[in-house]
Structure formats: structure tokens, C-alpha cells
């Protein structure tokens, strides 16, 4: 046996280094694994325990979950489009449309995804076929009922009473990605503006003045309510109920009279990824996994065959009763709105 | 025996063949050099190139468009001013708090020296997010400080501590002051106390001795600490996001916004470059200032 020299060791180390730079896609192909995406916290637990478990049971293929946010995932895909590090992308509508237009994802195919037939067309049309929606949240008013026994019943009352100093409100800041839909467009819609005229929304936010504070993450909103920094705010129905179920029974949710703002979550197949990714999407659209997902997250799901348990049905905001923002037009306006926000609101 | 240093192959004895292997060979620099190239220089070039691209769907597409937006618009100039201003204030407050602590640590701590060092370093072992959330709990409208002040009858209604520039400075100083203390303490430790004793024996009072002897000799540590704190404050992000509530707008916050909300990578790249140039310029000015005082170099 030859003597091991320093040169051999260096060569070996260099070889190992090069191996670590080999395309991850090839390695993943060998190990029959795909990479799917999820938001953090309870979302990730539900994705892993329900969709990934069911997918692996059906196909024998493992799915690794990458936690994060759509903008970050899209940047990763964009950086390596020939061999993307992500196979299935969970996305917001505005970014889902951009992902489609910029060639990051494929059009969804009924022949590859049989459960697509069980999803109302509106959820596929809203993303122009660049995937479809599998669940949705509704942005209404979450509040601390111990400190605010008489909460506002509408967005107009919410703004007026906040401006009058009745309570401190927590609003999503411009650093929170759904803010253009759930705050700027929503207020513009409620106060007589439109996607082309969001002046009334900015006026309303300014009117709330120092009695409005801003959150940049879903957790921060709950901290605002728990610490007493705010009494009420614009928030998601599902996350409110999940927090309630964790023992924080002082929190409550109102669907304002104008209607909460619809915010569906889109699932998309990334280009240049294996066909088995379609199977994962099919699992995400199936009735049984969606029902379990709704039970865990308290969010509405999109398969028409899903029957919510009675207690859950009371909490779910029906998608037909929500306001649907013009997602595509909003997507084009976001840079202008962000710039205006920075100059006029600053948070 | 004559010995000369050969930078390529280490120590060689004149008249003999150099040894084949030496631990001081420049070859060992290669891994670090490659790492620096792959994960610092190459991305820096990429960011530099990206900053000359137009934004997606933009009407104006000339190559300096992003820098024009940043440097010719009073709003963004204000943001740059707030970024530098916040770093300066944080640095000054850190010096004012850090110097006495470092002085006590070196001159008076005695057997508590190790414990104080541990207490200084221990917070660095905790996530910055946890520490910042801690301040949220303390400074909240119904947080510990407001509740205590109300219970003591000092105030009637809760004061607004959070979401203010003051809250940001408190959070940043809490995170960064250990860097200042350790930098100053390291230099104070090396000052020969007989110099101070000489000044005292020649009639200088405590204050004058400190002002004319100790402080000038420790400026090197103050300078190092100031550079560290200034640079870290310049790029800070989490503290501003969680404690600022939009009361201050700095370049790191706007860079995050370009990635998270508008996906305008070209504008974000231009902001990153401006932030980098600002940091280098401030570093240069601080070094010049310290050199002029005759402490460094």
C-alpha cells in the first residue's frame, strides 16, 4: 500500500470540495427527493405532517421542506433556473403572476393534476393558470376582547375610532409583503378610491396618526396585542384562531361589514423539475389532506368536496363573502405605492 | 549562521537547498483567498453590475438611473443622512457608556474582572432577535417601565417609548456596547500606570491626569471601538425593524423592502453600494482623525 503524502491529502480535499459544488439537482435525483416550500411555524408542521406525509405514502418519494418566503424562493430559483433548488413553490398571487411571466413556473395541467377539477375556476383564473390556489386567508380585524369589549364592526368605524383615540391599532407595515392588498387597496376600496387612486387609503392611515403602530411580521402583531402595545389590528382569520387555540382566549376576530380581504395561497410547479412535483401538487389539492390542513390552520381551503367540522365552519370566512383585490393591477402598482408610503407614512 | 526568510518556501539556510515544506508558506493563504473571492469579491462585482440595470418595467433605462434616484432625490438623501446620523449617535452613546465601564473593569474590578467580562460577553451569546424582543416587552405601552411609572404615580397614562428613534438607539447600544468596552479595555490594560503616577506626583489632579495622560493614551481603543460600533450600526436591520416602527428610515431597511416587497434588485444593489461606499468613507475619516491625534500609525 502506498504512503499517504500531503499532496494526496490536498488532492482528496480538493476533490471533496468540488463534490460539494456539484449540482444539487443531480444529487436529489439520485435520492428521489423533491424540495417543497412552506411558511414558518404551524404552517411548516402542517405541510410536513399532512401534505408531505401523504405524498411520500403515495409515491415513495421524500420531500424536503424549505422554510422562508416567496420573494426569497423566487430569487433562489431565478439564480439557478436550469437546475432550480426548489420543485414546488408556495406563493402569493402577485408574485405568482410575476413568477409565471418571468418563466419561473409552469402552467398547471389538468392531465397531470386530477384534483384540479375539484377547485373552482376562479382560484386558477386569478393566477392565469400559473398554478392554482389551495387555501386562503381573510384579512379582517383581530382584537383583544378584554381590553376592547366593544370593537368596531367595519373598517370605516375602525379608522374613525382609532383617529379619535379610542384604541391603538396595529397595521401591517410596508415591509410586510401582503400590505399592498390587505391595507392600501382595502382602505382605498372602502374609502372611495381604487387601485388607480389610493389617495383615500393614505389619508385614512395618516388620519389614524400616532394611534396606529406597524408590524412587519405575523408574530409581531400578536406581540403587539399580547404586550398591550395595541388593542386591535388588521390580521388573518386563521392565525387569530390558531393563537386562540394555543390558550390565548382573549383574542377574537371580526369579519368587518365591508368584507375581509381575500388572500389565497398559490401552489406552482417550478420549470425544469421532475414530473413527480405534479403529484405533490395533486396531494395539496385533494379533499382529505385539505380538510386536515384546514383543521390545523383554521384557514379556508379550495376543494369543493371539503366539509368543515361544525366548529371550524363557524370560523372560516366563506371565500364568496370576501373582497378580492385586483391582484395583477396591484402587482404593477407596488413600486409606486412603496415609494409613496416611504415618503408619506415612513413605517 | 546566516538565515534569510524566503516568502515562498519558508526559512532557508544559505548554501543549502530550501526545505520542501514550511508552515509559513504563502500557499496556506489560498483557501482563505479563494473563500474571500467566491463569497465576497465575486458577489460584490455581481452587485456592482446589477446596480447599473434598470428596474423591471421602468420607463427610464440609462445605466446610472438607480444612482440618480438615490443621490438626486431629497427623500433618499434624507435616508442616507438618517443612516449616518443613527450610526454616529449610537457610537457616541456607546463611547460615553463604554469608557467608564472599561475603566472600572481595568482599574477597579479586581477579582470581579472575570465576572464583568463574562457579563459583557454573555448577552452576545443570545440571539439579537431575543434581545430586541426583550426591549419590546420592557418598553411596550403596557410594558414593565410604563406599568412601574404608573404604579409609582409618576405618569397617569402610558408613555410611548417603542417605535421611536430613542428605542432604536437603546436597542443598538445594548447590542454594540460590549464591542466598545472590550476595545477600550484592551488598550487601557496596556497603559503604564507609572505615567499617571508621575503626572499626579508633578501636581496634576485626578481629572487632569485622566484628561492629559490616560485619555490620549487610550484613544487607540476608543478609535477601534468606534469603528466597530459605527460599522455594525450602519448595517443594522433587525433592531430598526422591531423597535423603530418606521420612526427612522435607513438604507438597510429600504434594501430589505426592495427584496421583500418590490423585488427591485437593481435599486437594492445601488443602495448596497452606496452603503458600502459610505462605510468606507467614514472608516477612512475616523482613521484620519485618530492618526492626526498621533495615536495610530
pLDDT digits (tens, 9 = 90+) for A22-68: 444 444 444 589 999 998 878 899 999 999 999 999 999 999 999 98
The Cα of A229 is separated from the nearest Cα of chain B by a number of Å equal to: 5
The shortest CB-CB distance from B55 to any of A332, A335, A347 is to: A335
Q: Which residue has the higher pLDDT, B245 or A85?
A: A85
Query: What ranges in B202-244 are assigned the alpha helix state H?
Result: 206-209, 215-234, 238-239
Hey, is the C-beta of A329 within 8 angstroms of any chain B C-beta? no
* CB–CB contact B261 A6 (8 Å): no
Hey, is the C-beta of A71 within 8 angstroms of any chain B C-beta? yes
* CB–CB contact B259 A75 (8 Å): yes
| Sign of the torsion formed by the C-alpha atoms of A126, A131, A134 and A139 | negative
CA separation for the pair A278, A283 (Å, rounded): 9
A175, closest residue in chain B (CA to CA): B257
From the CB of residue A15, how many other CB atoms can be counted at a distance below 10 Å? 10
pLDDT digits (tens, 9 = 90+) for A273-312: 999 999 999 999 999 999 999 999 889 999 999 999 999 9
Is the Cβ–Cβ distance between A161 and A173 less than 8 Å? no
The Cα of A295 is separated from the nearest Cα of chain B by a number of Å equal to: 30
A177, closest residue in chain B (CA to CA): B261
Hey, is the C-beta of A332 within 8 angstroms of any chain B C-beta? yes
The Cα of A113 is separated from the nearest Cα of chain B by a number of Å equal to: 30
> What pLDDT does B20 receive?
61
List A residues 240-299 in contact with B (Cβ-Cβ < 8 A): none
Q: Which residues of B touch A229 (CB under 8 A)?
A: 136, 140-143, 162
The shortest CB-CB distance from B245 to any of A179, A338, A347 is to: A347
Hey, is the C-beta of B10 within 8 angstroms of any chain A C-beta? no
Hey, is the C-beta of B148 within 8 angstroms of any chain A C-beta? no
Q: Which residues of B touch A95 (CB under 8 A)?
A: 263
Is the predicted pLDDT of residue B296 greater than 60, yes or no?
A: no
The Cα of A150 is separated from the nearest Cα of chain B by a number of Å equal to: 20
List B residues 119-138 in contact with A (Cβ-Cβ < 8 A): 133, 136-137
Residue B7 to residues A162, A280, B33, B130, B172, Cα–Cα distance (Å): 72, 59, 17, 48, 44
Q: Which segments of chain A have a pLDDT < 50? A: 1-30
* CB–CB contact A177 B259 (8 Å): no
* CB–CB contact A71 B263 (8 Å): yes
pLDDT digits (tens, 9 = 90+) for B59-90: 777 888 999 989 999 999 999 999 999 999 99
B252, closest residue in chain A (CA to CA): A175
> What pLDDT does B257 receive?
87
Would you say how long chain B is, in residues? Answer: 297
Hey, is the C-beta of B220 within 8 angstroms of any chain A C-beta? no
pLDDT digits (tens, 9 = 90+) for B168-210: 999 999 999 999 999 999 999 999 989 989 999 999 898 999 9
Helix (H) or strand (E) holding B205: none
Q: With cut-offs at 50, 70 and 90, classify the pLDDT of residue B19.
A: low
Q: With cut-offs at 50, 70 and 90, classify the pLDDT of residue B14.
A: low
> What pLDDT does B90 receive?
97
pLDDT digits (tens, 9 = 90+) for B22-43: 666 778 889 999 999 999 999 9
Q: Going by C-beta distance under 8 Å and a sequence separation of 6 or more, which residues neighbour residue B45? A: none
A215, closest residue in chain B (CA to CA): B245
The shortest CB-CB distance from A335 to any of B241, B262, B265 is to: B262
Q: Encode chain A in three state secondary structure.
A: CCCCCHHHHHHHHHHHHHHHCCCHHHHHHHCCEEEEEECCCHHHHHHHHHHHHHHHHHHCCEEEEEECCHHHHHHHHHHCCCCCCCCEEEECHHHHHHHHHCCCECCCCCCCCHHHHHCCHHHHHCCCCCCEEEEEEEEEEEEECCCCCCCCCCHHHHHHHHHCCCCCEEEECCCCCCHHHHHHHHHHHHCCCECCECHHHHHHHHHHHHHEEEECCHHHHHHHHHHCCCCEEEEEHHHHHHHHHCCCCCEEEECCCCCCEEEEEEEEEECCCCCHHHHHHHHHHCHHHHHHHHHHHCCEECCCCCCCCHHHHHHCCCHHHCECCCHHHHHHHHHHHHHHHHHHCCC
CA separation for the pair A77, B7 (Å, rounded): 45
- Decide the pairing of beta strands A169-172 and A212-215: parallel
**Most distant pair of Cα atoms in chain A: their distance:** 87
Is the predicted pLDDT of residue B2 greater than 60, yes or no?
A: no
In 3D space, the residue among A278, A276, A282, A272 whose CA is nearest the CA of residue A85 turns out to be A272
Hey, is the C-beta of A7 within 8 angstroms of any chain B C-beta? no
Highest mean pLDDT among A138-152, B100-114, B130-144: A138-152
The shortest CB-CB distance from B261 to any of A75, A174, A213 is to: A174
Is the predicted pLDDT of residue B120 greater than 80, yes or no?
A: yes
Q: Which residues of A touch B249 (CB under 8 A)?
A: 342, 346
* CB–CB contact B263 A95 (8 Å): yes
> What pLDDT does A125 receive?
95
> What pLDDT does A184 receive?
97
Hey, is the C-beta of A219 within 8 angstroms of any chain B C-beta? no
Q: Is B11 helix (H, G, I), strand (E, B) or coil?
A: strand
A210, closest residue in chain B (CA to CA): B160
Q: Which residues of B touch A345 (CB under 8 A)?
A: 246
> What pLDDT does B15 receive?
57
Burial class (CB in 10 A: 0-12, 13-18, 19+), B192: exposed
Q: With cut-offs at 50, 70 and 90, classify the pLDDT of residue B293.
A: low
A340, closest residue in chain B (CA to CA): B75
pLDDT digits (tens, 9 = 90+) for A177-193: 899 999 999 999 999 99
Q: Is B294 helix (H, G, I), strand (E, B) or coil?
A: coil
Residue A289, C-alpha cell as written in the block: 389532506
Is the predicted pLDDT of residue B6 greater than 70, yes or no?
A: no
> What pLDDT does B22 receive?
65
Q: What does pLDDT average to over chain B?
A: 86
Hey, is the C-beta of B21 within 8 angstroms of any chain A C-beta? yes
B143, closest residue in chain A (CA to CA): A227
Count CB pairs under 8 A between chains A and B.
Answer: 77
Hey, is the C-beta of A340 within 8 angstroms of any chain B C-beta? no
What's B142's DSSP letter? T
CA separation for the pair A271, B145 (Å, rounded): 54
> What pLDDT does A62 receive?
95
Q: Is B62 helix (H, G, I), strand (E, B) or coil?
A: coil
Amino acid at each position: 500500500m502506498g504512503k499517504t503524502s500531503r499532496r494526496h491529502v490536498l488532492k482528496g480535499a480538493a476533490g471533496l470540495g468540488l463534490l460539494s459544488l456539484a449540482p444539487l439537482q443531480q444529487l436529489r435525483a439520485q435520492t428521489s427527493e423533491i424540495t417543497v416550500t412552506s411558511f414558518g411555524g404551524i404552517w411548516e408542521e402542517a405541510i410536513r405532517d399532512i401534505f408531505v406525509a401523504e405524498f411520500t405514502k403515495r409515491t415513495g418519494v421524500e420531500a424536503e421542506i424549505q422554510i422562508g418566503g416567496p420573494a426569497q424562493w423566487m430569487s433562489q430559483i431565478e439564480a439557478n433556473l436550469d437546475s432550480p433548488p426548489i420543485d414546488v413553490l408556495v406563493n402569493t398571487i402577485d408574485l405568482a403572476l410575476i413568477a409565471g411571466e418571468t418563466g419561473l413556473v409552469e402552467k398547471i395541467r389538468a392531465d397531470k393534476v386530477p384534483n384540479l377539477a375539484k377547485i373552482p375556476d376562479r382560484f386558477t383564473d386569478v393566477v392565469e393558470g400559473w398554478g392554482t390556489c389551495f387555501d386562503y386567508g381573510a384579512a379582517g380585524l383581530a382584537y383583544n376582547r378584554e381590553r376592547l369589549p366593544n370593537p368596531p364592526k367595519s373598517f370605516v368605524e375602525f379608522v374613525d375610532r382609532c383617529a379619535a383615540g379610542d384604541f391603538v391599532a396595529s397595521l401591517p407595515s410596508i415591509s410586510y409583503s401582503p400590505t399592498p392588498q390587505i391595507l392600501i387597496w382595502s382602505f382605498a376600496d372602502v374609502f372611495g378610491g381604487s387601485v388607480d387612486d389610493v389617495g383615500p387609503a393614505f389619508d385614512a392611515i395618516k388620519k389614524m396618526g400616532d394611534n396606529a403602530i406597524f408590524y412587519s411580521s405575523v408574530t409581531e402583531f400578536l406581540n403587539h396585542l399580547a404586550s398591550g402595545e395595541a388593542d386591535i389590528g388588521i390580521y388573518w382569520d386563521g392565525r387569530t384562531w390558531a393563537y386562540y387555540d394555543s390558550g390565548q382566549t382573549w383574542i377574537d376576530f371580526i369579519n368587518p361589514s365591508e368584507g375581509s380581504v381575500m388572500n389565497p395561497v398559490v401552489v406552482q410547479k417550478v420549470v425544469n423539475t421532475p414530473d413527480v412535483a405534479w403529484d405533490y401538487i395533486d396531494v395539496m389539492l385533494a379533499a382529505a389532506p385539505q380538510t386536515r390542513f384546514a383543521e390545523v390552520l383554521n384557514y379556508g381551503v379550495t376543494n369543493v368536496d371539503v366539509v368543515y367540522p361544525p366548529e371550524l365552519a363557524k370560523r372560516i370566512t366563506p371565500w364568496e363573502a370576501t373582497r378580492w383585490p385586483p391582484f395583477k393591477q396591484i402587482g404593477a402598482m407596488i413600486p409606486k405605492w412603496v415609494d409613496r408610503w416611504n415618503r408619506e407614512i415612513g413605517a | 549562521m546566516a538565515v534569510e526568510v524566503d516568502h515562498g518556501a519558508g526559512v532557508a539556510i544559505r548554501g543549502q537547498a530550501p526545505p520542501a515544506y514550511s508552515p509559513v508558506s504563502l500557499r496556506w493563504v489560498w483557501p482563505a483567498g479563494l473563500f474571500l473571492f467566491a463569497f465576497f469579491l465575486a458577489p460584490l462585482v455581481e452587485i456592482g453590475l446589477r446596480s447599473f440595470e434598470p428596474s423591471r418595467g421602468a420607463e427610464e433605462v440609462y445605466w446610472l438611473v438607480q444612482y440618480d434616484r438615490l443621490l438626486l432625490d431629497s427623500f433618499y438623501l434624507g435616508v442616507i443622512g438618517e443612516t449616518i446620523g443613527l450610526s454616529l449617535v449610537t457610537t457616541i452613546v456607546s463611547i460615553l457608556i463604554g469608557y467608564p465601564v472599561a475603566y472600572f473593569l481595568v482599574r477597579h474590578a479586581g477579582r470581579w474582572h472575570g465576572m464583568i467580562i463574562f457579563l459583557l460577553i454573555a448577552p452576545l451569546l443570545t440571539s439579537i432577535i431575543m434581545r430586541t424582543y426583550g426591549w419590546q416587552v420592557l418598553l411596550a405601552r403596557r410594558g414593565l417601565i410604563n406599568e412601574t411609572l404608573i404604579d409609582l404615580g409618576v405618569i397617569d397614562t402610558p408613555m410611548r417609548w417603542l417605535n421611536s428613534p430613542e428605542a432604536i438607539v437603546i436597542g443598538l447600544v445594548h447590542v454594540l456596547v460590549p464591542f466598545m468596552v472590550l476595545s477600550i479595555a484592551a488598550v487601557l490594560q496596556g497603559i503604564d500606570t507609572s505615567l499617571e503616577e508621575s503626572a499626579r506626583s508633578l501636581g496634576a489632579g485626578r481629572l487632569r491626569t485622566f484628561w492629559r495622560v490616560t485619555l490620549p493614551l487610550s484613544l487607540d481603543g476608543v478609535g477601534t471601538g468606534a469603528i466597530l460600533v459605527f460599522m455594525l450600526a450602519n448595517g443594522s436591520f433587525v433592531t430598526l425593524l422591531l423597535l423603530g416602527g418606521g420612526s427612522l428610515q435607513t438604507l438597510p431597511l429600504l434594501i430589505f423592502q426592495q427584496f421583500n416587497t418590490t423585488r427591485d434588485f437593481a435599486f437594492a444593489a445601488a443602495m448596497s453600494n452606496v452603503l458600502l461606499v459610505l462605510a468606507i468613507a467614514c472608516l477612512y475619516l475616523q482613521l484620519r482623525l485618530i492618526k492626526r491625534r498621533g495615536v495610530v500609525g
